[in-house]
Amino acid sequence: MRVMKIAIAGFGGVGRATARLLLSRRERYRRLYRRDVRLVAVCGSRSGLFDANGLEADRLDVLEAGLTGPDFVAATGAEVLIEAGPSDFRTGGPGLAYIRSALSGGQDAIVISKGALVHSGAELRQLAKRSNALLKISGAAAAALPTIDLLDHSLLGSTVIGVEGILNATTNYLLDAMTSRGIGFEGALREAQAAGFAEADPRNDTEGWDTAAKLLILANFGLGLELAMEDLTVTGIQSVTHREIEAWRADGLVPKLVGSLLYANGGVRADVGIRAYPLADPFAHVSGKTKAIRITTDAMGETVAMSHGTEPLATAAAALKDLEHILKARSAEGPPREA
């Protein structure tokens, strides 16, 4: 049975959830893919762990200082990198250096953070193509919500006409609270922060940038476009007033922060902003922390998917869905080598 070695870069809540879920699924990987999957390395910004024979769950709580960085990961002999670090679409860091190193060396990469994909997506796709590495991004493209999968598999062959997505759970929760319970933006935000799912600095979410990043990933990786953040019109929810909420309610409309992409007149228009939906529309019923996507095609019409997964487990599961795609692809390349 062939050994497959995995490294995880970025070891916060999502990285740790991914590690523990991966370790719990090793028997599944042996049975379905004839692969002995071993987690050989993990690292955060200042520390990490390495064991060529594989790390166990009871060793993941205490990391060793200095074991970090792309060179550390490269030296572990890992065949697959799972990148789960903080996300900064303005610089691509810190994950960009890890992903560049992995793809340049022919390692398959599973990317959870969005920053590098938005900042240097075209470069990373080219690196993967040149080295014959697989680059998987489900965790970055709205995690448990099947977005990139719909474009890559379920709707293959049809021409996409438009995409609408409620892609940020925090802003959907805030708007839902403001609409259904009549509380103001600041009160809803304090509630979400106290519950632990809104960031201390929520501006990437509330100003629409997280939604914009996910929309760009879908456009560029799923639809083959070459859009940049400056090609989008982005507005958030931070300025929504009680008067606007009351007007929508009076008209029977439900506001949502939506990333939208529309093909028209030989071009494409992409934006992020509030759209108000009538109660007959499925998007009007996407409540709380639920996310949703609607993809309209020429032949298959409208496809709508919704998802409400518990974090960070849902994101970890999305990343390991990508791992199974890699295991399946690599298993099909030939008979397994004996370990």
Q: 154 and 137 share a domain?
A: no
Q: The domain that contains 168 carries what CATH number?
A: 3.30.360.10
Strand boundaries in the chain, DSSP class E = 2-9, 35-43, 47-50, 64-65, 80-83, 108-111, 135-136, 160-166, 233-234, 253-264, 267-278, 291-297, 301-307
pLDDT at 183 over 60: yes
Q: 129 and 197 share a domain?
A: no
Q: Mean pLDDT for the chain? A: 95
pLDDT at 336 over 70: no
Q: Is residue 23 part of a domain?
A: yes
Q: Is residue 129 part of a domain?
A: yes
Number of domains in the chain: 2
Instruction: Compute the distance between CA of residue 178 and CA of residue 184 in angstroms, rounded to an integer.
Output: 6
Q: 166 and 258 share a domain?
A: yes
pLDDT at 335 over 60: no
User: The whole model's pTM is what?
Assistant: 0.94
CA atoms within 13 A on the CB side of 16: 12
CB 202 within 8 A of CB 170: yes
Cα end-to-end distance, the chain, whole Å: 5
Q: 19 and 97 share a domain?
A: yes
Q: 140 and 157 share a domain?
A: no
pLDDT at 112 over 90: yes
Q: Is residue 317 part of a domain?
A: yes
CB 334 within 8 A of CB 149: no
Q: 183 and 246 share a domain?
A: yes
Torsion of CA 98, 47, 16, 200, to 10 degrees: -90
C-alpha separations of 183 from 190, 245, 259 in Å: 11, 10, 24
- Structural domain containing residue 251: 148-307
Q: What would the two tokens of residue 328 be?
A: 């399946």
pLDDT per residue as tens digits for the range 11-64: 999 999 999 999 999 999 999 999 999 999 999 999 999 999 999 999 999 999
The crossing angle, in degrees rounded to 10, of helices 242-250 and 169-180 is 70
Q: 136 and 214 share a domain?
A: no
Instruction: Compute the distance between CA of residue 19 and CA of residue 42 in angstroms, rounded to an integer.
Output: 8
pLDDT per residue as tens digits for the range 235-293: 999 999 999 999 999 999 999 999 999 998 889 999 999 999 999 999 999 999 999 99
Instruction: Compute the distance between CA of residue 78 and CA of residue 45 in angstroms, rounded to an integer.
Output: 18
Q: The domain that contains 109 carries what CATH number?
A: 3.40.50.720
**pLDDT of amino acid 334:** 63
Q: Is residue 123 part of a domain?
A: yes
Question: What is the β-pairing status of strands 160-166 and 291-297?
Answer: antiparallel
Q: 103 and 59 share a domain?
A: yes
Instruction: Compute the distance between CA of residue 49 and CA of residue 112 in angstroms, rounded to an integer.
Output: 20
Q: Is residue 339 part of a domain?
A: no
Contacts for 89 with CB less than 8 Å, ≥ 6 apart: 114, 115, 118, 119, 209, 213, 229
Q: Is residue 240 part of a domain?
A: yes
Q: 234 and 323 share a domain?
A: no
Q: 101 and 172 share a domain?
A: no
The predicted model gives 121-132 an average pLDDT of: 97
